[in-house]
């Protein structure tokens, strides 16, 4: 295992110390349940990682990444479906009002229309508070992200008690010295909340296999 895979794996393991819970869903539930997870981020994808983890657990899964215009560093929304008929020919893109979890590694991508359309009252939404500067800053030096409005929009969509916001970028950087670990940090946070239906060991093995 190279150093990068090692510290990302360590970062995932650190979430137990941070959150202090070992929730998680049992794989037995997933053989009879269909869960839709939505991941909104900038660059990269954790959908493939979870797809591998589900494969290791023997859980049917489908993964569909919707990419932004930029090939690198652009918005990515991953539609991941676990259990039920996932992977057997049904639509792999989550339909409107069907997501069980929104993992918003980037707040702006989380608040865009296509993402919001998939949410419903009761969706668990975990969103990164970190403000990632967009290209608008080059045209307007006083530009600031509408974080308050984004939070209100998400809370109205899923319910105030279903929205969790955390400065994952700052915490990941403090733990590991690099913001590149943010997406894995968010995944670990969501897993500790019991919203990611695969075993911890399978996620760690997928990290080792996929990097």
Per-residue pLDDT of the chain (211 residues; tens, 9 = 90+): 454 555 455 555 455 444 444 455 444 443 435 678 888 877 666 888 889 999 999 888 888 888 765 444 567 888 998 876 544 556 678 889 999 999 998 888 888 888 999 999 999 999 998 876 554 444 555 555 678 888 999 999 999 999 999 888 888 888 777 787 788 888 888 888 888 888 888 888 888 887 6
Rounded Cα gap, residues 42 and 177, in angstroms:
19
Rounded Cα gap, residues 164 and 150, in angstroms:
13
Rounded Cα gap, residues 94 and 72, in angstroms:
24
């Amino acid at each position: 295992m190279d150093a990068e895979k090692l510290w990302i794996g360590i970062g995932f393991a650190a979430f137990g110390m941070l959150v202090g819970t070992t929730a998680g869903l049992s794989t037995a539930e997933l053989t009879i349940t269909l869960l839709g997870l939505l991941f909104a981020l900038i660059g990269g994808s954790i959908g493939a990682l979870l797809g591998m983890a589900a494969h290791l657990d023997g859980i049917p899964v489908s993964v569909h990444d919707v990419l932004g215009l930029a090939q690198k560093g652009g918005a990515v929304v991953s539609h991941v479906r676990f259990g039920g008929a996932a992977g057997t020919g049904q639509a792999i893109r989550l339909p409107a009002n069907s997501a069980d979890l929104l993992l918003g590694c980037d707040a702006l991508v989380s608040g865009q229309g296509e993402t919001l359309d998939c949410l419903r009252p009761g969706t668990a939404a975990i969103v990164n508070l970190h403000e990632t500067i967009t290209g608008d800053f080059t045209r307007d030096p006083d530009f600031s992200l509408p974080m308050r409005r984004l939070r209100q929009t998400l809370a109205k969509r899923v319910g105030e008690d279903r929205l969790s916001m955390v400065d994952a970028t700052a915490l990941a950087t403090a733990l590991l010295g690099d913001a590149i670990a943010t997406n894995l940090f968010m995944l670990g946070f969501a897993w500790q909340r019991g919203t990611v239906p695969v075993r911890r060991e399978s996620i760690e093995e997928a990290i080792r296999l996929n990097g």
